[in-house]
Amino acid sequence: MRLTVFGATGGTGLHVLRQALAAGHTVTAVVRDPARLPADLRGLAEVVRADVMDPAAIEPAVKGRDAVITAMGSREGNRPTTVCADSVRSIMAAMEAAGTRRLLMVSASGLATDAGDGPLTRYVVKPLIVQKLLKHAFADMTEAERRVRAGGLDWTIVRPPQLIDKPAKGTYRRATDLNVRGGLRITRADLATALLDLLAEDASVGHVVSVAD
How do beta strands 207-212 and 173-176 pair? antiparallel
Q: How far is CA 108 from CA 62, 145, 160, 200, in A?
A: 24, 10, 5, 21
53: Cβ contacts below 8 Å, ≥ 6 apart: 86, 87, 90
- Model pLDDT for residues 63-93, shown as the tens digit of each residue: 999 999 999 987 766 788 999 999 999 999 9
Q: Which pLDDT value is given to residue 138?
A: 92
Q: Which pLDDT value is given to residue 62?
A: 98
Q: Which pLDDT value is given to residue 76?
A: 63
Looking at the DSSP bridge assignments, the partners of residue 102 are 154
158, 103 Cβ separation under 8 angstroms: no
175, 209 Cβ separation under 8 angstroms: yes
**Domain boundary assignment for the chain:** 2-212
- Model pLDDT for residues 30-64, shown as the tens digit of each residue: 999 999 999 889 889 999 999 999 999 999 999 99
Q: What is the pTM of this model?
A: 0.94
**Residue 4 pLDDT greater than 90, yes or no:** yes
Residue 169: CB atoms within 10 Å: 12
Q: Which pLDDT value is given to residue 79?
A: 84
* Fold (CATH) for 2-212: Rossmann fold (3.40.50)
- DSSP character for 24? T
186, 163 Cβ separation under 8 angstroms: yes
Q: Which pLDDT value is given to residue 22?
A: 96
Q: What is the mean pLDDT of residues 138-146?
A: 96
State the chain's maximal CA–CA distance in angstroms. 48
Residue 202: CB atoms within 10 Å: 8
Q: Which of 5-9, 118-122, 126-130 has the highest mean pLDDT?
A: 5-9
Q: Which of 11-20, 126-135, 172-181 is the least confident region?
A: 126-135
